[in-house]
Chain A
Amino acid sequence: MLTKAQVRTAVREYIDDPGAKTWSDAALDILISMTQDNLWGDILDTASYWNSFYQLITSASYHAPGYLDLRPTGDGGDLTNRLYRIQKFIANGREFYPKDSRDFLLNAASSVGLTTVTAPIEQNYTYEILGDQLWFHPLGTTANPGFIELRYSYRPAAFTSIADGTTVGFVDGCEHALVLTAAANAMHRGDEEDPGKFLSLAFEARQRLFATIRRKYHGPTVPFSVSNPIEMGSI
């Protein structure tokens, strides 16, 4: 686990800019932050539940006529973390499913932002994501549940928003992928220098990262095998 300062210093060493004359700390932090988010997208596409968070939302926290603000609370939303993908939505104990986007005609009421709905014209027990908002049906205060349970994958706190001494949210032991990819991006500045070798190294580190996140156990065992798969080199 590396701290923010350690990651930044490692990137500086790779790009040979110890005095911050090419990249200021602020600019480099933004670059590392973008790189971190990109890699987290790859991580969560490969291992959907690597960062999965369960959040209970009470009726007081969602919005009439029936939607959640998917932004983090720090940005004025309802979520504790930075949403990547919704994994499960349960309202009042009933699981909702993503609305079929082909039901666009029935979508009209919520799409135009009606706040009073007298007839349940939407397909019940579905949700749809409109920008930063997650609308769930049926709408209306009488149909609103008392509580919502949400599970979603998320990106950790942005690199730019944490303190120098705070541990960077990343796959433990695989920070090299973050450092090298950020270094390769930094070398691109102004198309001055060739980032090719850094890209090669970053690719290797990224492959190791994926190998790490695919599974956390050693794999299936084979009955009556003379040895376990690890020893046979199959993992």
Chain B
Amino acid sequence: MKQLLSEARFDFRGGRVTSISPDLLNSNELVDATNCRIDSKYGAVTKRTGCQRLHQTAAPAAIKGVVQWDGPSGKQLVKIANGHLYYRNGFTLATAFTDEGTNVFSTTVPAFFMPFRDATSGAPLVLFIASGGKLFKWTGTVLTDITGTTTAADRIIAYHTRAFARNVNYKKTIFWGKVGDATVFTTGTKTDGGSALVNVLNGEEIIALEVIGSSLLMAAEDSVMRFTGHATDDIVISQDTEGISSEVGAVGPQALKRFENVAAMLNERGPYVVTETAVEPIGEQVLPDFDALDTTVLSSSVVGWNRGRKELMFCVPGSGDGSLNKTIYSQSVRLQAWQGPWNYSFGITCGARYEDTNGDEFWITGGSDGFLRHMDIGAKDDVLYDGSGGSNITMVAELPPLHFGRPGSQKVLSHIKLQAILPVGNNLTAGVAFDNAAFDNGYFVNATTDGILRDYRVDLNGYGYRLRTKFTDSSAVSPTIYGLRVNAYDMGRP
């Protein structure tokens, strides 16, 4: 009779790690977390949530910008597509978007939004939109082109009661408007508009703008600069080696995104977090994944922030994504652990914070196919606006190889004791493979699937030395794995 060996895994908070040899991973890390999410009850791993279209009919072209803002009639969704502005008040998905009518927006570059008060103190909030060298003001019902009195903006952001913009013709210069009035960029007194050349030494253009703390971040391709101050007599632009970074910058205009009190940034060297003083790499666990992206279109990447989940979203072009952002690598900010890749059938062109009718915070995206989507809902992908349709999501969670404390000694598998929530309709498989053999699915003994956390026995088969264990589910529901204990016999053979 052989000795029974046992190895347990009850913590998956380490998330996906691909930059370290699988045999060297910590026990709470995962070799693969495709379409997985570290559960909100920390320790467990589950399938990521699905997504749903926010309207019935696709826009005529790819979405170039989306925002939800507090318009005069409450929450209003605005999207830019095919040169037009479309808007919808409220939360009724069956209500069609209204086309503002004019064809004035860029059809090739992303649009940027800036909710700001109107020209006078106490005036209602309006939405400023920069698109391909034009600046617009949107009141919720009326669109006005204000490029003539401002600047040919293709980036816009509010900082210190001023509007800051990049001019499409002067990309190495930061322009700012009058204090409290984003419709005027003319120079004059220190409270009027102004401009300054930045990144003088290396001459790179401004790529992305973001505001954190008391700083306006200006990211170039390989540097991040800091703008502080209120007026011409106290403005300080820290750049080059005095800036936040003279080493890394943003890959694209949507690759810099504030979350909490810092900003996430995607560089060609991987993801970073930007503070007011420095940048820190945050993606060392998954660098091989970022290295494998389609670098020819990396500049179109979108960094998003799911405020409700406290998750960063790096929407990136995978090598098989057809030059679209069909892949998301997500970081659970509280755990600083990675999830994904999350694979989608559509390209993501832009994203925005989204508050639903209950006030819960989510994240929405604009798609290359002309649809806006709620990106954190249900268990199926691309569900239609009315809740019908959609496609199943396939999750794969692979554990680091198990050696049962005896690498190099042959083991024969017995069974897994699995603690999991298996909803009705799931098709979770527990695959095991010794020594790079094909995965063989275990047999669930008397499996009751009722969505209650239960203990399951999974019988296994196989001989070998180095055991890989993988959980897969391609159903329309979302199973959750809380932990497992794998049992095997030590054969005592070298």
Contact = CB atoms under 8 A, between A and B. Distances in A.
A193 B412 CA distance: 12
Contacts of A22: 459, 461
A194 B442 CA distance: 23
B interface, over-half SS: strand
Contacts of B135: none
Contacts of A192: 1-2, 412, 414, 489
A21 B442 contact: yes
A21 B431 CA distance: 12
B438 interface: no
Contacts of B415: 21
Interface in A1-57: 17-22
A21 B2 contact: no
Contact of A194 (B1, B459, B491): B1
A193 B444 CA distance: 21
A18 B2 contact: no
A interface, over-half SS: loop
A20 B445 CA distance: 11
A21 B1 contact: no
Contact of B443 (A20, A190, A194): A20
Contact of B412 (A18, A19, A20, A190): A190
Contact of B1 (A17, A18, A20, A193): A193
B459 A190 contact: no
Q: How large is the interface on A (under 10, 10 to 19, 20 to 34, 35 or more residues)?
A: 10 to 19
Interface residues of B, number: 14
Contacts of A19: 442-445, 459
A92 B230 CA distance: 126
B445 A18 contact: yes
Contacts of B414: 192
A194 to B, nearest CB: 5
Interface string A188-205: 001111100000000000
A21 B459 contact: yes
B152 interface: no
B447 to A, nearest CB: 10
B279 interface: no
Tell which of A18, A22, A193 has the most Cβ of chain B within 10 Å: A22
Contact of B491 (A17, A18, A190): A190
Interface of B: 1-2, 412, 414-415, 442-445, 459-461, 489, 491
Given A19-B445, A22-B459, 15 more contacts: A18-B445, A18-B459, A19-B444, A19-B459, A21-B442, A21-B459, A22-B461, A190-B412, A190-B491, A191-B2, A192-B1, A192-B412, A193-B1, A193-B2, A194-B1
